[in-house]
Structure 1
């Protein structure tokens, strides 16, 4: 494993690269810290499935803290800082948190789908023990896969542009090719298929529930509006992560089946940048699409500024999950009898 001179094509862009990495680091760390702070503030009211959203924020924050500082410092120095040991560390933590994130999204989509099927049974809930076991499984699964290259199945190495490390794709075309096949199958293709099927199933369930509600009344129940917004948030989060990592996966596969030297350094650099930026988007999606999360952030900002005008969320808003949208009070008086039932269904269907 050897780190030579940075390509003359990439070196002039190191200052811009460093700026982008620095901005991404600040946004990622601050955004995911906010998500965790909001979860800590309402930990006593937290529902078991909400722990999966907290776990996702932990994976994003962990990736940002362990990877961005070294990447920024290397970009400023126009060379990789450290040697082979540091390279293995960087590749290992990147692969570890990447697998943990995609599996967390897969488990979250599966749990959402299961809950949506049981929305007519409010007493049937996801227990704390089950969610904790799922979170432990996610971390152990990611750890096992990240240790495989250390144990000899696959290997870590420098990226072509010389400023970071990852799986040594070009070197694995002859050594560890089976690792590449299994890794892409179980950590990219299969999770994507599961996520798509689960959210497609939720969309179908939501559609038939909507049609049934419209046939019984002339208004759309609040639970349908909320669940629709939840589905949008979930799909955006999953699409953002997959969209960030898909270009990197395509370039990596190209380097496996073709000569890696045929890929210009700046072409291999851009997908890597997209992959690193995946830790930034989730807090932004929460803030844009979740009224409750936006309100909590504004209240925290007011508290930090010594403001006494912050209002405490009402009981209905406290009962929903951290990244869910608000439930608007039904305006017609005739809807009062159905509000209690909708809130009960809301607690069963929604996930943070």
Structure 2
């Protein structure tokens, strides 16, 4: 039996390929826009913003290195490249997936640390620390991605035949400790940390809001942090929500007979997980007026004869650290910094 032959109908193969092609385009365009926005503000970029750029790079890397091969395989009704491309695809998916969840975890921790003193203008995160955190994220993900090649765990084709990942069904005995380690250290623990951090931030904002209500005035920095918190929580929920169904199905296939899962059923959580690279730019666009405004102001997206005026205004407030002029009780208009820093 050819394990790389599609177990789906030809019509479903074509539909899957079209779906992945749409994801590829949306992921590349969306995350490139996020990186362009950050680059345009690079001279005024604060250290924590580098973590946001790092997270966009993981999504963009996933779309560029993986999705085109999956599209071509779907339209060929057979996985292309055999064992070599299967190992490459599984390693890339695992690598970028671990890098993303660790990035989200670090961002949540950093935001929590910053929230311990919302009024402090002091820089709490240096460029050196942020660069070390980014390097640690990639190194940590690379180590986990190489472990199956070194003998702990293994990569293999998905049951529906058009994708490759960790061979969950083959790790019932040989790699069961690897499976437990993955779910514990790279899913359960990060999720608990993310929930704890954002819940802690929400509590601090709530008490700050209640205290300000006693004075019949809600400071603008509380409203700003609340808006950034909502965006950050949506991003975390989007990623975890996309990968949770796939994780549950994978865990079930380890504990039970994976052959009992119909190919069509195993396809759905896999495709849903791949959509995680699309949501972040969409969340920015629909929930942040500044990101939408910056995108529309890009000269190469302008149509017609009216020239586009790109805003070069500098926000003197460090939105991430909330260095606000308390005396004036005013916050500068929302800028791109809010977008890139909303993931922190």
TM norm structure 2: 0.91
CA 1:304–1:209: 2 relative to 1, 3 Å: same
Aligned to 2:229: 231
CA 1:341–1:97: 2 relative to 1, 3 Å: closer
What number of residue pairs does the alignment pair up?
336
Counterparts of 1:198 and 1:338, CA distance in 2: 27
CA 1:307–1:3: 2 relative to 1, 3 Å: farther
- Note the aligned Cα RMSD (angstroms): 2.5
Aligned to 1:338: 329
Counterparts of 1:207 and 1:215, CA distance in 2: 13
Counterparts of 2:331 and 2:205, CA distance in 1: 19
Counterparts of 1:95 and 1:266, CA distance in 2: 22
- Is contact 1:25-1:64 (8 Å) kept? yes
Aligned to 2:265: 267
Kindly indicate which of the two structures has a greater share of residues assigned to helix: 1
Counterparts of 1:167 and 1:154, CA distance in 2: 8
Counterparts of 2:118 and 2:327, CA distance in 1: 20
Deviations 1:130-167 (A, max 9, x none): 11100000000000000000000000000000001000
Q: Unmatched 5+ residue regions in structure 1?
A: 328-334
Aligned to 1:277: 275
Counterparts of 1:54 and 1:95, CA distance in 2: 20
Match of 1:256 among 254, 257, 272: 254
- Is contact 2:4-2:79 (8 Å) kept? no
CA 1:153–1:219: 2 relative to 1, 3 Å: same
Aligned to 1:153: 152
Per the alignment, in what secondary structure is the counterpart of residue 165 of structure 2? strand
Counterparts of 2:333 and 2:123, CA distance in 1: 16
CA 1:307–1:132: 2 relative to 1, 3 Å: farther
Per the alignment, in what secondary structure is the counterpart of residue 337 of structure 1? coil
Per the alignment, in what secondary structure is the counterpart of residue 156 of structure 2? strand
Counterparts of 1:291 and 1:299, CA distance in 2: 12
Aligned to 1:45: 44
Counterparts of 2:271 and 2:88, CA distance in 1: 19
Per the alignment, in what secondary structure is the counterpart of residue 78 of structure 2? coil
Shift of 1:69: 0.5
Shift of 1:30: 0.3
- Is contact 2:220-2:331 (8 Å) kept? no
Whether 2:181 is the aligned partner of 1:182: answer yes
Per the alignment, in what secondary structure is the counterpart of residue 80 of structure 1? coil
Aligned to 2:205: 206
Shift of 1:219: 3.0
Match runs of 1:10-89 below 5 Å: 10-89=9-88
Q: Unmatched 5+ residue regions in structure 2?
A: none
TM norm structure 1: 0.89
Shift of 1:312: 1.7
- Is contact 2:229-2:342 (8 Å) kept? no
Aligned to 1:243: 241
Counterparts of 1:11 and 1:173, CA distance in 2: 31
Match runs of 1:74-223 below 5 Å: 74-216=73-215, 218-223=216-221
CA 1:229–1:340: 2 relative to 1, 3 Å: closer
Per the alignment, in what secondary structure is the counterpart of residue 292 of structure 1? helix
CA 1:313–1:28: 2 relative to 1, 3 Å: same
Per the alignment, in what secondary structure is the counterpart of residue 338 of structure 1? coil
Counterparts of 2:93 and 2:4, CA distance in 1: 22
